[in-house]
Amino acid sequence: MEQEAAPLISGLGLSKDDPSVVPKPAPCISYTGTYSGLEVTVVCNGRCSVHSVDNVGTVPAAVAAYLAVQAVQPDLLINAGTAGGFKARGAGIGDIYVSSKTVNHDRRIPLSGFDMYGHWAIESTPAPNLVKALNLKAGVVSSGNSMDFVQADLDNMEKQGAAVKEMEAAGIAWSAHLFGTPFFALKSITDIVDGGRVAQEEFMENLATAAKALHDTLGPVLEFVASKDVSEL
């Protein structure tokens, strides 16, 4: 969402690209610049021309990531955004998680072989030194296309040991996998999935706090990345 990205773009001193690095007809918006010696490009999904809201969910995220990787050919792809967290896994509002693995929790295909395809669990690029150096948290990031969830989704998330629930990372991980591009998700917690509150209310209440936490963390993350090879993260 552009509201999630705005503090990052400002904090990193990036400039809007015109035209976007992602070609039309994709509605993506991109920003580029240099930070800590790194060439940085931030790509947002853009807005839906029919409903005039941000494009969200795994499909727009996967398409944007595919086209962005194709255009920019990055050394590292990071999905930076906000998410729900599980207090049972130690999550609190404003905590920052680095993905250890991404998985889908709402693609239920009870056919031989397709069940595992539906979950499409894949390990993220390991970043244990980054997590330790910046005192971040690491955990499984689970993606779905609904802000709420049904019991089957919750069962899948519990089975996978999910610490974070959101709507993008698994789709982006799929695109990164196609290109062989190193990838991890960086997620700031807006709401507590197992906390008993309505997700959308808690999300809106804490979005500014979580976005600021993400902004405050991304700069040091990029500085750390600039000092290491991807294999040393």
CATH, domain range 2-232:
3.40.50.1580
Is 4 a catalytic site residue? yes
199 pLDDT exceeds 80?
no
198 pLDDT exceeds 90?
no
Q: Give residue-wise pLDDT tens across range 71-111.
A: 999 999 999 999 999 999 999 999 999 999 999 999 999 99
Q: Would you call the peptide bond into 19 cis, given omega within 30 degrees of 0 as the criterion?
A: yes
pTM for this one? 0.94
Q: Would you call the peptide bond into 25 cis, given omega within 30 degrees of 0 as the criterion?
A: yes
Q: Give residue-wise pLDDT tens across range 134-152.
A: 999 999 999 999 988 999 9
* Per-residue burial over 94-118, b = 16 or more CB atoms within 10 Å of its CB, e = otherwise: bbbbbbbbbbbbbbeeeeeeeeeeb
Q: Give residue-wise pLDDT tens across range 3-50.
A: 888 888 999 999 999 999 999 999 999 999 999 999 999 999 999 999
> Residue 168, exposed/middle/buried by CB under 10 A (0-12, 13-18, 19+)?
buried
Is 75 a catalytic site residue? no
Annotated catalytic residue: which of 153, 166, 168, 191? Answer: 191
